[in-house]
Amino acid sequence: MSLLIKNIKQLVTCAGRSRIPRAGKKQSDIGLIENGNIFIEKGKISFAGNISGLKKFLSSNTDTKYDILDASDKVIMPGFVDSHTHFVFAGSRENEYEMRLAGKSYEQIAKAGGGIISTVKALREIPKKALKEQAEDRLEKFVKYGTTTLEGKSGYGLDLGNEIKTLEIMKELNEENRYSLDIVSTFLGAHSVPPGIKKSDYVKEISHNMIPIIAKENLATFIDIFIEKNYFDTEDADLIFTMGKRFGLIPKLHTDQFNSVGGTDVAINHGAVSVDHLEVLSDEDIEKLVAFNKSRENRKIIATVLPGVSYFLDIPYAPARKLIKNNVPVALATDFNPGSCMTENMQMIMSLASLRLKMSAEEIINAVTANAAYALMMEDKVGSIEAGKQADLLIFDMPSYKYLFYNFGVNNLEKVFKKGKVVYSSK
Ligand code: NIG
Ligand code: FE
């Protein structure tokens, strides 16, 4: 049955396909409609707008049987798009969290056998079925806080079989999960060098063995690399991205988390869709991003900022204000993973962006909807409330969208719609 949601106190649409991604001053354009209305048919939005628009729409629409939901004291916005996570993993690392509180750094813990490699051991040991169940269970928390589209990376397998195991789980979950979430897969074979292998041999293994098989089996859309001291460098990235692109995988990257390591140049040379992390991004690299984006008619590079990592590891925050001031479009994501940001809660990330990155409410909302959809090349389907897009909507029981930042640490979400169906309800 179709659905009319009417009298919405504040309808935040983020609409305007041609204006995505939003950068600079336009990152504040959230397409707010007071007293808005939405009509949903077959899982898609067929109308979103004010009352006079609705009257016109209804008079010409053939679908005359529909349910009605009154939202006169509610705020509605697009479902959140979490464009950077590592949600398929085994085990947990609360022991490392304690070590960090006792003064050890992320780097020191990794050197002592903790870090990414400890999760690799756990993932290699667990059977696929159990790993999949754990991953699917995590989806409930994402949905509960408003995420309706989710990216996930491999990178805790670090050998062909276990990378495929991870990517197959995400592919299967995308085809069928109990919340109908869209799940987008990224191959992150270059997350860490596995123990017992020379880095140059592992880079060859990724380039000549893993990439062709993963691409042929259609197991990933994107290819990612962790460019960082003691992990992978720009030369490794050149080899891996060159091969990845040859097989149709689209580059994204982790860079400048702890050290300024030249990832911006790699992103520009390979036309990446996003550069992620950027905690220690230099002014010079911001200028390069600006120049590159200016020169591009088509896809811009999105800066995906992950304030949950800065909070959780107690490291610097990315220069989000400088990026916005310089017209680089910014997205925000959780980076949910067991080592550097153990939260599925996008609202928590939004609160950090407000208080720590000094982003405005409007900038943040675009960063978790339209711009994040663009970072996954899904802006035609999700990330805004407008005719033709999927009916992925969040209904908040609160007086204004600004209240979301003010009333922090609790969940004001009342309902989550994914493809027109209620997938979470607080009552
Ligand atoms: O995005 N930076 C590299 N990878 C993850 C952390 C992975 C882990 O510690 O398990 C990240 O922060
Ligand atoms: Fe990450």
pLDDT tens, position by position, 132-170: 999 999 999 999 999 999 999 999 999 999 999 999 999
Same structural domain for residues 7 and 142?
Answer: no
CATH of the domain at 153: 3.20.20.140
Instruction: Judge contact between 289 and 264, C-beta under 8 A.
Output: yes
Same structural domain for residues 306 and 414?
Answer: no
Same structural domain for residues 255 and 206?
Answer: yes
Would the pLDDT of 17 be above 80? no
Question: Rounded distance, CA 5 to CA 420, Å?
Answer: 11
- Closest ligand 1 atom to 119 CA: 10
Percentage of the residues of the chain whose pLDDT score is greater than 70: 100
Query: Which residue, by CA, sits nearest to atom 11 of ligand 1?
Result: 340
Beta-strand relationship, 222-227 and 250-255: parallel
Residue 104 alpha carbon to ligand 1 centre in Å: 16
- Residue 49 CA, distance from chain mean position: 27
Q: What is the pLDDT of residue 87?
A: 98
116 lines ligand 1 (CB under 6 A): yes
Query: Which residue, by CA, sits nearest to atom 3 of ligand 1?
Result: 226
Same structural domain for residues 62 and 133?
Answer: no
Same structural domain for residues 74 and 91?
Answer: no
Nearest listed ligand to the Cα of residue 156: 1
Q: What is the pLDDT of residue 223?
A: 98
Q: What is the pLDDT of residue 111?
A: 87
340 lines ligand 1 (CB under 6 A): yes
Residue 388 alpha carbon to ligand 2 centre in Å: 31
Indicate the top mutation candidate among 95, 340, 343 to test ligand 1's pocket, ranked by most ligand atoms within 8 A of CB.
340
Q: What is the pLDDT of residue 112?
A: 85
- Closest ligand 1 atom to 257 CA: 2
Would the pLDDT of 407 be above 80? yes
Query: Which residue, by CA, sits nearest to atom 12 of ligand 1?
Result: 340
For all residues of the chain together, what is the average pLDDT?
Answer: 97
Question: Rounded distance, CA 39 to CA 202, Å?
Answer: 52
Instruction: Judge contact between 289 and 301, C-beta under 8 A.
Output: yes
224 lines ligand 1 (CB under 6 A): no
Both tokens of residue 327? 């017209």
Please enumerate in sequence order all residues whose Cβ is within 8 A of that of 235, keeping only pairs 6 or more positions apart, or say none. none
110 lines ligand 1 (CB under 6 A): no
119 lines ligand 1 (CB under 6 A): yes
Question: Rounded distance, CA 334 to CA 226, Å?
Answer: 16
Same structural domain for residues 20 and 161?
Answer: no
Same structural domain for residues 263 and 290?
Answer: yes
- Closest ligand 1 atom to 156 CA: 10
Q: What is the pLDDT of residue 30?
A: 97
Question: Rounded distance, CA 2 to CA 58, Å?
Answer: 12
pLDDT band (50, 70, 90) for residue 293: very high
Q: For residue 190, give Cα distances in angstroms to 106, 221, 231, 233, 333.
A: 18, 15, 8, 10, 20
Q: What is the pLDDT of residue 64?
A: 83
Q: What is the pLDDT of residue 298?
A: 85
Q: What is the pLDDT of residue 130?
A: 98
Q: What is the pLDDT of residue 113?
A: 84
The residue range of the domain holding 337 is 80-375
Same structural domain for residues 84 and 34?
Answer: no
Q: What is the pLDDT of residue 427?
A: 85
186 lines ligand 1 (CB under 6 A): no
Q: What is the pLDDT of residue 41?
A: 97
Query: Which residue, by CA, sits nearest to atom 5 of ligand 1?
Result: 340
Domains of the chain: total: 2
258 lines ligand 1 (CB under 6 A): no
Place of tokens 């813990």: 109
pLDDT band (50, 70, 90) for residue 19: confident
Q: What is the pLDDT of residue 62?
A: 86
Q: Which of 395, 254, 303, 259 is nearest to 23 (CA)?
A: 303
* Model pLDDT for residues 377-392, shown as the tens digit of each residue: 999 999 999 999 999 9
Query: Which of the listed residues 353, 375, 397 is the one where a domain comes to its end?
Result: 375
Q: Which of 335, 363, 339 is nearest to 348 (CA)?
A: 335
Would the pLDDT of 18 be above 80? no
pLDDT band (50, 70, 90) for residue 177: very high
Q: What is the pLDDT of residue 12?
A: 98
pLDDT band (50, 70, 90) for residue 297: confident
Same structural domain for residues 418 and 327?
Answer: no
With a threshold of 0.85, does the pTM exceed it?
Answer: yes
Q: Which helix (H) or strand (E) holds 6?
A: strand 2-12
Same structural domain for residues 167 and 307?
Answer: yes
Query: Which of the listed residues 357, 375, 393 is the one where a domain comes to its end?
Result: 375
CATH of the domain at 64: 2.30.40.10
310 lines ligand 1 (CB under 6 A): no
87 lines ligand 1 (CB under 6 A): no
Cis peptide, bond prior to residue 21, ω within 30 of zero: yes
Same structural domain for residues 248 and 353?
Answer: yes
Same structural domain for residues 184 and 253?
Answer: yes
The predicted model gives 53-64 an average pLDDT of 92
Q: What is the pLDDT of residue 173?
A: 98
